[in-house]
Amino acid sequence: MEMEGEEEVRLAENAWADAKETWEDETDLYNEYLNEYNMWVELMQAEQDLDLWREYQKGADQAWELVSEQEHWYMMATEEWEYLDSEK
């Protein structure tokens, strides 16, 4: 009986560690995508040439799509980690 309880604790601790690692990875990726988006916006704001500005706008739009998608995964990882953290 005691072994089962120890096994449950070990599994819960592993699940918590996995969720925390996933959250950290998703956070890093979100920040990377957001930094790329901000870079494109800064280029747009500094550009006077309309053709280059449009190219930078395309880059910013593509980067924002990545940010939006990653935000979903980041939020899911945050919820999972917070849930497991509250159970600890």
Domain count, the chain: 1
Do the domain assignments include residue 72? yes
Q: Is residue 21 part of a domain?
A: yes
Give the integer Cα–Cα distance in Å for 68 and 59.
14
Residue 6 lies in a domain: no
Contact 41, 34 (CB under 8 A): no
pLDDT attached to residue 30: 96
Sign of CA dihedral 84, 23, 13, 4: positive
Domain that holds residue 70: 15-87
Residue 7, in any domain of the structure = no
pLDDT tens for each residue of 10-69: 888 899 999 999 999 999 999 999 999 999 999 999 988 989 989 999 999 999 999 999
pTM for this entry: 0.76
* Most confident listed range (1-5, 62-66, 83-87): 62-66
Assess if residue 8 is contained within a domain.
no
Q: Is residue 33 part of a domain?
A: yes
